[in-house]
């Protein structure tokens, strides 16, 4: 899981330039990542699922990846 998060670390933007995800230090948008699974594709064009722990204490499953509609710009 750590390897995947390290590869995906940075700010992610949609095609309109809006930041939609921030991945850093084992967190997605400030929520701790508990699990990562069901990955398909390659690092340049892939997708995977993440279980995150929200600030309310609830568990949420999300998917994230790259496609024709998502781009990533690594943070400095």
Q: What is the pLDDT of residues 22-43, one digit of tens each?
A: 989 999 999 999 998 888 776 6
Q: Give 11's strand partners.
A: 22, 73
Mean pLDDT by 10 residues, the chain (76 residues): 82 86 91 88 73 88 63 42
53 neighbors 32 (Cβ within 8 angstroms): yes
Strands (E), 1-54: 10-14, 19-24, 27-28, 31-42, 45-53
Distance CA 54, CA 75 (A): 23
Distance CA 76, CA 33 (A): 21
pTM value surpassing 0.95: no
């Amino acid at each position: 899981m750590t390897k995947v998060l390290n590869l995906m670390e940075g700010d992610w933007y949609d095609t309109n330039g809006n930041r939609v995800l921030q991945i850093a230090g084992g967190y997605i948008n400030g929520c701790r990542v508990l699990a990562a699974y069901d990955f398909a594709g390659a690092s340049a064009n892939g997708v995977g699922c993440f279980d995150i722990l929200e600030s309310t204490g609830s568990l949420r499953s999300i998917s994230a990846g790259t496609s024709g509609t998502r781009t990533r710009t690594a943070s400095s």
